[in-house]
Amino acid sequence: MPRFYGTDIDSALMLGTAGYPSPAILAEAFRASGAGIATVSLRRESGGGQDFWALIRDLGVRVLPNTAGCHTVREAVTTAQMAREVFDTPWIKLEVIGHADSLQPDPFALVEAARILTEDGFQVFPYCTEDLIVCEHLIEAGCEVLMPWGAPIGSGLGLNNRYGLRALRAHVPNVPLVVDAGIGLPSHAAAAMELGYDAVLLNSAVAKAGDPVRMARAMALAIEAGALAHAADPMEARDMAVPSTPLIGRAFL
Amino acid sequence: MKITINGTLHEVSATTVAAVLEEAGFTGKLATALDGDFVPAGLRATTPLTEGAALEVLAPMQGG
């Protein structure tokens, strides 16, 4: 199970709270998922914020606020400061978006914001790409967790660069890694865990499923299966067939 | 004086962040920023408003 900034979490599934058909379905999906961490955000107060907070508090999970929608270092840092006060946690999922269509992180601004926030006492969970050098710079900036994307946010495409994600896992064997964004199916989540990732953060795959509660359970099972498979040291794939049934003792007919 | 609160122009009589939150009826878990800078809860009562200032009042919301 993952350990983030010295805190052990009981589940490798981190679940977002956005876009569910109803608050009741959100709560039921969380129960079905067994998720130990819920991502949340801050938005202009227009009446619903306090009810939403009561709902999240009752889930009994740890809260990871995000800086979603921020495009500059200043916006992200200010949002993080506000989130720390409201949610009473040093944890921040740091998003600094570089491109409105792809929602791709701006790695340069991300590293700068991560450094500022770490020096200010935050424990930063950066939403990043799988680029090895960006990830090295994030670690140098003080990040003790990395959250590379699987695919663009909300796309449901899965792991677009499995090679890159595997290379990152090998490059930083002792840094907790989370695939954040792009998961659409339980098989995608299982694949991330099979690569040796510590956790998976997803939202739309559950919230936008026809039956979010059932999908939440499916994700939990897939993540458990993927983690077990990684621990079991899978066989090597190969191009040619190898008979599994012994040839010795075969009858001559 | 006129200030914007969450992007909407308001005529207010309050002169501090704390007072204007009360005047505008905000309660509960909130965070504030004035002209792009975070204003911690403990400094709201002593943070003055100026004509044309932009106040952001944020609350917990769903997020991914």
Q: Where are the domains of chain B?
A: 2-58
Comparing A46 with A126, which gets the higher pLDDT? A126
Tokens of A124: 């930063």
Of B28, B37, B63, the CB nearest to A18: B63
Q: How confident is the model at residue A148 (pLDDT cuts 50, 70, 90)?
A: very high
ipTM: 0.95
Which residues from chain A sit within 8 angstroms of residue B40, using beta carbons? Answer: 81, 85
Answer yes or no: do A49 and B61 touch at CB < 8 A. yes
* Vertex A199 angle, CA A194 and A205, to 5°: 90
* 3 state SS of A169: helix
Judging by beta carbons within 10 Å of its beta carbon (0-12, 13-18, 19+), is residue A58 exposed, middle or buried?
Answer: exposed
Helix/strand/coil (H, E, C) string of B1-44? CEEEECCEEEECCCCEHHHHHHHHCCCCCCEEEECCEEECHHHH
Of B37, B56, B61, the CB nearest to A40: B61
Answer yes or no: do B64 and A78 touch at CB < 8 A. no
Condensed to tens digits (0 to 9), the pLDDT of residues B14-53 reads 999 999 999 999 999 999 999 999 999 999 999 999 999 9
The answer to whether A104 and A85 are in contact (CB under 8 A) is no
Judging by beta carbons within 10 Å of its beta carbon (0-12, 13-18, 19+), is residue B59 exposed, middle or buried?
Answer: buried
Q: How confident is the model at residue A96 (pLDDT cuts 50, 70, 90)?
A: very high
Partner A contacted by B25 (CB < 8 A): no
Mutate to test the interface with B, among A45, A63, A201 (most CBs of B within 10 A): A45
Residue type, A175: V
Answer yes or no: do B63 and A66 touch at CB < 8 A. yes
Tokens of A197: 């990732």
Condensed to tens digits (0 to 9), the pLDDT of residues A195-240 reads 999 999 999 999 999 999 999 999 999 999 999 999 999 999 999 9
Confidence (pTM): 0.94
The answer to whether A98 and A104 are in contact (CB under 8 A) is yes
Other C-beta atoms within 10 Å of A69: how many? 15
Q: Are strands B54-62 and B31-34 parallel, antiparallel or unpaired?
A: antiparallel
Tell me, yes or no, if A208 is annotated catalytic.
no
Tokens of A152: 């663009």
Looking at CATH, the fold of the domain delimited by B2-58 is given as Ubiquitin-like (UB roll) (3.10.20)
Nearest to A30 by CA among A246, A242, A219: A219
